[in-house]
Copies of this chain bind each other. A is one copy, B any other.
Amino acid sequence: MENIKSYVQQHKDRFINELIELLKIPSVSADTAYSQDVIDTAEAVKESLSKAGCDYVETCDTPGYPIIYGEKIIDPNLPTVLVYGHYDVQPPDPLELWTSPPFEPVIKTTDIHPEGAIFARGACDDKGQMYMHVKALELMVQSNTLPCNVKFMIEGEEEVGSASLAWFVERNQEKLKNDVILISDTGMISNQQPSITTGLRGLSYVEVEVTGPNRDLHSGLYGGAVANPINILAKMIASLHDENNHITIPGFYDKVEELSAEERAEMAKAPFSLEKYKNALNIADVYGEKGYVTNERNSIRPTLDVNGIWGGYTGEGAKTVIASKAFAKISMRLVPNQEWEEITELFTKHFTSIAPAGVTVKVTPHHGGQGYVTPIDSIGYQAANKAYTETFGVPAIPVRSGGSIPIVALFEKELKSKTILMGFGLDSDAIHSPNEHFGIFNYLKGIETIPLFYKYFVELSSK
């Protein structure tokens, strides 16, 4: 442990500067305007793996962006850790709300990060958290403490659904063979209280298009006489929740796991202040499904949210138009046992069925993924907990997250191994929002904690 700390202390400035260089490349996978940048980022990751000590690195072509594979096999008889991460980032908009440009990383201090945090798109999600693993490998190789084999699989389409990764994993089961999958793409409760994410929600993401008249119309001459696609879309979206904020899609809840009163009581023990939560978001009240509290609504319950809506005249001033079309992007977060493809079908069928005769509706599925639960009695979970306990001084708390890493369920299905979600981000890091950042404390703590996971995983595996 002392060796680890001193190595991190000695090299921390370089660790930070290397991450800053990586953050400068705008690898926005959702927007084809950035495609060369995404590819450049892949190459930068590949180089960094070589330098950190991988014996073999490879740019794996896929139908989409490449996957960077790297490995260091020290003994085929020892366990193998597969590290997964992603080098793509969310779109940075709305740009005007960033206090510094999203791809010009700067270090600023905040109340939560008195030691400074790196502000940039991808700082936490996931370049910063992914790069902790690269630097942890360097540390173990340089200090001759790597206790097992390691493989890296770093993809570039996580923010748009990981379609190519699924394609790749299905075709490379032997290459990717491992004993545990390690991912840092989640958060922890606070810098004083580490936690391990044991549950993830699934996702179904669709785009809907409502078409009314075949052209934009003058709202005076046609208003009131034809179905207005925007009004209709609003009405259709509104009808997807009932007065108790239950989702109204027939069959939507059929496979949802109902937690016991005991399990809900256990969940309620996690530290949470509703007042602080409301103040942090500047909202007068929370809002959600009747019968559940906030920490249940965003973890064990499925949800439906509009992520974007547009139609008609959205420029300056006023235009009296009835638009021909209106659009929305809608995502549903799912809980374990809900099949995302089935939910997408249920949505499509229902949404199409509720359209009135004056419009036509098109539903385009974007992507999706299954929910996932990690058992806390697994060797991987226990190794992670020991590692956190050693670096933070307190044990980690298991928590269910409301987010999705759709690929995790696929890993279990295709690679037959469990995933451990060792996240070092904080809720306040503003991932997917303007001013995303990642604490220097968190970044370095991750680099310290990861080698201990390897150590305890090998120790517990050999028992």
Q: Which of B220, B309, B367, B433 contacts A310 (CB 8 A)?
A: B309
Q: How far is the CB of A285 from chain B (nearest CB, A)?
A: 4
Given known pairs A217-B433, A241-B231, the reply for A308 and B323 (CB within 8 Å) is yes
Is A309 a contact of B326 with CB atoms below 8 Å? yes
A313 at the interface (CB under 8 A from B): yes
Instruction: Kindly identify, within residues 222 to 253 of chain A, every residue whose CB is under 8 Å from any CB belonging to chain B.
Output: 222-228, 230-235, 237-239, 241
A96-121 vs B, Cβ < 8 Å mask (1 yes, 0 no): 01000000000000000000000000
**Chain A contacts to B: CB under 8 angstroms:** 29-32, 90-91, 93-94, 97, 159-161, 187, 201, 203, 205, 207, 212-228, 230-235, 237-239, 241, 281-289, 294-295, 297-298, 301-303, 305-323, 326-329, 331, 333, 356-360, 366-367, 401-404, 427, 430-434
Known: A219-B331, A224-B288. 19 other contacts (CB 8 A): A30-B317, A32-B316, A94-B216, A159-B318, A187-B221, A213-B282, A214-B281, A220-B401, A220-B403, A222-B298, A227-B286, A230-B306, A287-B356, A305-B322, A306-B312, A308-B313, A317-B366, A318-B331, A318-B366
Is B357 a contact of A285 with CB atoms below 8 Å? yes
Is A432 a contact of B309 with CB atoms below 8 Å? no
* B residues less than 8 Å from A97 (CB atoms): 215-216
When chains A and B are docked, how far (Å) is the Cα of A48 from the Cα of B6?
Answer: 84
Is B307 a contact of A222 with CB atoms below 8 Å? no
Is B307 a contact of A226 with CB atoms below 8 Å? no
Closest to A281 in B: B213
* B residues less than 8 Å from A356 (CB atoms): 285, 287
Q: How far is the CB of A159 from chain B (nearest CB, A)?
A: 8
When chains A and B are docked, how far (Å) is the Cα of A56 from the Cα of B318?
Answer: 34
Is B309 a contact of A312 with CB atoms below 8 Å? yes
* B residues less than 8 Å from A286 (CB atoms): 225-227, 358
Is A313 a contact of B288 with CB atoms below 8 Å? no
Is A318 a contact of B309 with CB atoms below 8 Å? no
Is A315 a contact of B160 with CB atoms below 8 Å? no
